[in-house]
Chains A and B, each alone.
Chain A
Amino acid sequence: MTEDILFIIGLLLSICIEGAGSFFPITLSVLVVLSLIRKGEIIFLYAFVSGLLLDILLLRSLGVTSFVFCLLIGLLFLYERKYEIQTLPFVLAASFFMTFFYLLFFRAPYIFIQSFLSAIVSCMLFLFTRRFIKPKETRTHYSL
């Protein structure tokens, strides 16, 4: 429960930063890390609500960001059976490619720099979070 509150605070903070004007999609980075640390159905709810809030803040059509977030996180879970996803290289690669496609979808500028920054931040967040919260080991149950 405490973990969930911390996740929600972290997510809201990232939404505030992105809404105010961050260079890269920090909410997606946070969601990637959350998906790996706190696996489960709740992540899709986080993604859905975060997307809606971002749509309101960034004046996008409502539902678009939620759709992309849910789709990307779904794809992330697809790889769970094939790879060890709770590793730094996977976080780096997943965050980079997810940000890349997210930015490509929204036709954002500086796609490579933003994706790179997002990957770095995701890794840092992953390392930081893993120090305090032990990732859930539910590999067989929680995959698509």
Chain B
Amino acid sequence: MRAPDRLLLPFLSFLILSFFVFLIFKTKALQPVRGFFEETIHPVQHIGSSVFFGIHARRTTITELQEENAALLTKMAHMQELEKENQALHDQFQNPSVPTQQLLPAHVVGLMPYLPAVAAADFLIVDKGSSDGIKKNAVVLEKNVILGTITDVSQHAAKVRLVSATGSTFTVTTSKTGANGIATGLGGGEMILDKVVLSDKLEKNDIVLTGNSVQANGTGIPEGLIVGKIGNISKTPSSLFQTADIIQPLDPTKQEIVFILLQ
């Protein structure tokens, strides 16, 4: 770099200013300032998502069929559960799937990264945040189908990592055969059922439900939420575990409203 020119001073100034902003906003004291800006900007983002990507316009017949399919899956899962339980518990299962916990509706205002028909989104941004009682690791669902969990929360917005995103793992169980395993997101809208011991039975089209992974502090994924259906099964006698594709009943990128499970 040669002698300081006209751009060196602004370059260093803004670099230092950015770092300074980063440091001061790490403190909790300035969160309300960020919250104010979020509150101002997110309606614009909501309009932007509608205009540029037509989240609201994408409610096609396919979307409606997917939702119907998800609702049917919920019913099927219930039916299979009911078969396992005795008749005395029947009335209990007639209640909604998430009876004791509060669901908070939130609008999807952003998808990241997303290119229709090429790359499915791994994250959603919703317009509800800590001021609405949302905490990190809260579950996001729609029609009893788990869509993801909250990874970042600010005052008026939250970032949702979809269950199909890379790095997303949680325990699951199959509805019909009761096989336990781990659902692992592969990114781009794909996920697999992994770590299922060979002695467990996997059946195609069996419903995959979440296992109970609620922590002592109330965070985590509750059991019984629908993850998807089993697709192709990969089972080789030489390997320790068998795997299967999980077909998600809903496309999270086509949801305009999702529900956040308040813990």
> Within 8 Å CB of B2, what residues of A?
81, 143
Given contacts A22-B113, A81-B2, are A17 and B166 in contact (CB under 8 A)? no
B163 CB–A CB distance under 8 Å: no
Beta-carbon contacts under 8 Å, A122-142 to B:
141-142
Per the bound structure, the CA–CA distance linking A16 and B110 in Å amounts to 10
A88 CB–B CB distance under 8 Å: no
B119 CB–A CB distance under 8 Å: yes
Per the bound structure, the CA–CA distance linking A81 and B2 in Å amounts to 10
Question: Within the complex, what minimum Cβ distance (angstroms) separates A67 from chain B?
Answer: 4
Given contacts A20-B53, A62-B21, are A74 and B15 in contact (CB under 8 A)? yes
Contact: A144 with B113, CB < 8 Å? no
Per the bound structure, the CA–CA distance linking A108 and B133 in Å amounts to 28
Contact: A19 with B48, CB < 8 Å? yes
Contact: A16 with B48, CB < 8 Å? yes
A7 CB–B CB distance under 8 Å: no
Chain A, residues 11-30, CB within 8 Å of chain B (1/0): the string is 00000110111111000000
- A21: contacting residue among B5, B8, B49, B159, CB under 8 A: B49
Per the bound structure, the CA–CA distance linking A68 and B23 in Å amounts to 15
Residue of A nearest to B37 (CB): A56
Per the bound structure, the CA–CA distance linking A110 and B7 in Å amounts to 33
> Within 8 Å CB of B111, what residues of A?
20-21
> Within 8 Å CB of A73, what residues of B?
11
Please tell me which stretch of B64-72, B150-158, B202-210, B238-246 contacts chain A, meaning at least 4 of its Cβ atoms lie within 8 angstroms of it: B150-158
Contact: B7 with A21, CB < 8 Å? no
Contact: B21 with A144, CB < 8 Å? no
> Within 8 Å CB of A144, what residues of B?
1, 5, 7-8, 11
Contact: A21 with B11, CB < 8 Å? no
For chain A, the count of residues having a C-beta within 8 Å of the partner chain is 43
> Within 8 Å CB of B115, what residues of A?
23
Residue of B nearest to A23 (CB): B115
Question: Within the complex, what minimum Cβ distance (angstroms) separates B157 from chain A?
Answer: 6
Residue of B nearest to A49 (CB): B14
B18 CB–A CB distance under 8 Å: yes
Beta-carbon contacts under 8 Å, A24-76 to B:
24, 40-41, 44-45, 47-48, 51-53, 56-59, 61-64, 66-67, 70-71, 73-74
Q: Chain B residues in contact with chain A, CB under 8 A?
A: 1-2, 5-11, 13-15, 17-23, 25-26, 34, 37-38, 41-42, 44-45, 48-49, 51-53, 109-115, 118-119, 121-122, 125, 152, 154, 157-159, 166, 187-188
